[in-house]
């Protein structure tokens, strides 16, 4: 049985030390001369498109195609610059590379992304950490404003590669309650990992099928991918 394993990026695979949020602020300031457009706007777990739309509303600016295109172009330039800057909180998450190396060698596993990042931003971030090469498909913040519709988008992306999946064969790995909600909405297995700022007990309360403090317990994670409870009932919680 083929399994599609979809990973969130920020807080799940990597931490950028706030490079994305700083790049957004710099881009908005450069284009629209507004320095605090993202003040008070929640970012974790949300799509870049929704975050940007909130900033336009807050700034009283039209969210037209031209403004969006201009922002994205400058944002990506600043994102590359910010990622090159040293930061104590910029790192790859524990266990991630081991898991990706092991799963990428399995013919029955397709690795993909499920993230609120714009696709180009996702690529820039993961190429910086040499992780982009592991992923064959994905669903991104460009695809929909509603994060809860990203699982079907990712499944269609996998089908475009000739790989057919049903939702119950899909695993979503993320670090926020919104990642769990997205998995639930798409009928996928929800694996929550407490590396992005949410306490494991908070993630457990969301109804995640599995909760990890981090992904350093590689064997336990692989057991889930291999079908430990997937498609059945009585999912275990790993705190």
CATH 3.40.50.1000 fits 3-16+90-225, yes or no: yes
Q: What integer is the mean pLDDT of 102-117?
A: 95
Query: How far apart are the C-alpha atoms of 223 and 168, rounded to whole Å?
Result: 16
Q: What pLDDT, on a 0 to 100 scale, did the predictor assign at position 237?
A: 47
The percent of residues in the chain predicted with pLDDT above 70, rounded, is 94
Ordered by start, the domain boundaries in the chain are 3-16+90-225, 19-84
If pLDDT is split at 50, 70 and 90, which confidence band does 1 have?
low
pLDDT tens column, 145-165: 888 999 999 999 999 988 877
Per-residue confidence (pLDDT) for residue 232, from 0 to 100: 37
Average pLDDT over residues 25-51: 93
Asked which of 32-46, 84-98, 157-171 is least confident by mean pLDDT, the reply is 157-171
pLDDT in tens, 57-95: 999 999 899 999 999 999 999 999 999 999 999 999 999
Q: In this structure, how many other beta carbons lie within 10 angstroms of the beta carbon of residue 113?
A: 27
Per DSSP bridges, beta strands 170-174 and 210-212 are: unpaired
d(CA 164, CA 59): 43
Inter-residue contact 38 to 53 (CB < 8 Å): no
Q: Provide the CB-side half-sphere exposure for 19 (13 A, CA).
A: 29
Q: What's residue 14's pLDDT? A: 98
pLDDT grade for 217, boundaries at 50, 70 and 90: very high
CA separation for the pair 176, 195 (Å, rounded) = 9
Question: With 90 as the cut, is the pLDDT of residue 135 above it?
Answer: yes
pLDDT at 166: 78
Q: What is the mean pLDDT of residues 212-231?
A: 86
Q: Is the pLDDT of residue 133 over 80?
A: yes
Q: What is the pTM of this model?
A: 0.92
- pLDDT, tens only, 180-202: 999 999 999 999 999 998 999 99
Confidence tier at 228 by pLDDT (50, 70, 90): low
Structure tokens that stand for 142 in this block: 């460009």
């Amino acid at each position: 049985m083929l399994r599609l394993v979809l990973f969130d990026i920020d807080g799940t695979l990597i931490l950028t030390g706030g490079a994305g949020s700083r790049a957004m602020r710099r881009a908005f300031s450069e284009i629209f001369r507004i320095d605090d457009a993202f003040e008070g706007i929640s970012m974790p777990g949300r799509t870049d498109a929704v975050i940007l739309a909130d900033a336009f509303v807050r700034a009283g600016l039209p969210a037209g195609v031209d403004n969006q295109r201009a922002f994205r172009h400058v944002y990506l330039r600043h994102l590359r610059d910010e990622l090159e800057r040293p930061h104590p909180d910029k790192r790859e998450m524990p266990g991630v590379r081991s898991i990706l190396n092991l799963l990428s060698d399995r013919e029955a596993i397709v690795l993909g992304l499920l993230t609120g990042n714009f696709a180009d931003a996702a690529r820039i971030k993961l190429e910086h950490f040499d992780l982009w090469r592991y992923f064959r498909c994905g669903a991104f913040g460009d695809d929909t404003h509603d994060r809860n519709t990203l699982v079907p988008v990712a499944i269609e992306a996998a089908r475009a590669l000739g790989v057919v999946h049903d939702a119950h064969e899909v695993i979503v790995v993320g670090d926020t309650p919104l990642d769990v909600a997205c998995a639930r909405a798409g009928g996928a297995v929800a694996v929550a990992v407490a590396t992005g700022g949410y306490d494991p007990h908070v993630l457990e309360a969301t109804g995640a099928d599995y909760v990890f403090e981090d992904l350093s317990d590689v064997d336990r994670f692989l057991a889930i991918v291999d079908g430990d409870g997937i498609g059945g009932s009585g999912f275990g919680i790993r705190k």
